[in-house]
Amino acid sequence: MDRITDSTKLARLAITALRSNITRLKRPYKLTFSITYMCQSRCLTCGIWQTKPTGELDLREIKDFASKNTNFKWIEITGGEPFLRSDIVDIVRAFNETSKGLYVLTMPTNSLCNQDTLVGRIEEILGLGIPKVSITISLDGYRELHDKIRGIPGNFDRCMGVARRLKELQQTYKNLFFVFGFTMSKFNEGQLMKTVDEVRKELPWVSHGDFHVNAGQISGAYYKNSGMNLKPDTAIMSSELEEFISHRRFRIGTIPLIESAFLRKLDYYIKTGKTPMKGRSLDVSLFLDSYGNVYPSIMWGRKIGNIRDTEYRLSGLWNNAEANETRQLIREGKEPEAWTACEAYQAIVGNIASLLI
């Protein structure tokens, strides 16, 4: 079979996303997959690092899942710290070889793995030829603040080191994109702009557009942070987000345009606490945890089933009673209120009309 060109993959993704505006898709095109809950961070905003994961999906199981579910065009691999898995390149390779239309791969990192190992694995993944590989470097504050929130001395400097190495890689790999991921919470209230300024002192080429901003949120199923109070003062949070948006330069491109829409809707979510638009969970996307459990999203711990019970086929879960009941709850507006990029991006492209509001 001839190689599918990048432009063809983009066109297929765009057509699928547009179709999701007018009809329910037969199968999801986006997968969010936590490949491990292992993590070296000690974050004040998250409880993942306190888990002791056992029985996670091994490479053989993941390959089996990838070979039996081949329609993914957009995959977000997350954790924990995903690069703690020594087989992460083989995991990505398995999906790239079976989901022939895969166009976008996104992965976060806390930058705490050995830098040569981390960058080496990213370079191997880039060499697989996925059209867009986006790395998010988690960064929640300037040097002292980030290290305090993450609980690891020297973490900020490790982030700067990884950013420098990725900037070098971009000279060779045009499919590499990376941003700093800033999660707003009460622990860094009002410090977003200072953080950008401090990073720019270290890396003068960085702009406001090189930051992705999220609001800290609660999810017992994913973040393991039920009972935590993360919310900063709403007025301060909204004000600094609006200031941040005002400094961003317009960029042409699919991801920058979606990101701009995400930020505008994030301001609405901060002010109202309401999800800005209809979610697309269990329609165009799903969340798969490292144990094989399928959920509508990272924000909703309503388990649909486990792929180990269906011989790793999503078809055995996608239309079961639990999935259909969950979709009915979504239609009734009973999905948890949330706005995080893992779920919001596909909601944005699946609700084009809502962007006009």
- In this structure, what token pair is assigned to residue 84? 């703690």
Q: How confident is the model over 240-296, as pLDDT tens digits? A: 999 999 999 877 666 778 888 899 999 999 999 999 888 888 999 999 999 999 999
Give 204's pLDDT tier (boundaries 50, 70, 90): very high
Which residues lie closer than 8 Å to 299 by C-beta, 6 or more apart? 217, 219, 221, 222, 336, 338, 340, 343
Range 49-59 average pLDDT? 95
pLDDT in tens, 11-35: 998 889 888 888 888 899 999 999 9
Higher pLDDT, 75 or 350: 75
Q: How far is CA 353 from CA 264, 319, 356, in A?
A: 15, 27, 6
Local confidence band at 1 (pLDDT 50, 70, 90 cut-offs): very low
pLDDT digits (tens, 9 = 90+) for 308-340: 999 999 999 999 999 999 999 988 889 999 999
Q: What's the number of CA atoms in the CB half-sphere (13 Å) around residue 351? A: 21
Q: What's the mean pLDDT when you consider all of the chain?
A: 93
What ranges make up the beta strands (E) of 23-175?
Answer: 30-34, 74-78, 104-109, 132-138
Q: What is the mean pLDDT of residues 74-81?
A: 97
Query: Which DSSP helix (H) or strand (E) runs through 176?
Result: strand 176-184
All domains of the chain in start order, with CATH: 6-350 (3.20.20.70)
Q: What is the pLDDT of residues 90-133, one digit of tens each?
A: 999 999 999 999 999 999 999 999 999 999 999 999 999 999 99
Q: How far apart are CA 257 and CA 30, in angstroms?
A: 18
pLDDT at residue 351, rounded to an integer: 82
Whether 142 has a pLDDT exceeding 60, the answer reads yes
Sorted by sequence, the CB contacts under 8 Å of residue 7 that are 6+ apart come out as none
pLDDT tens digits along 156-181:
999 999 999 999 999 999 999 999 99
* Apex 110 CA angle, 187 and 139, nearest 5: 40
Is the pLDDT reported for residue 2 higher than 60? no
Average pLDDT of the residues in 205-220? 94
pTM for the full predicted model = 0.94
pLDDT the model gives residue 355: 59
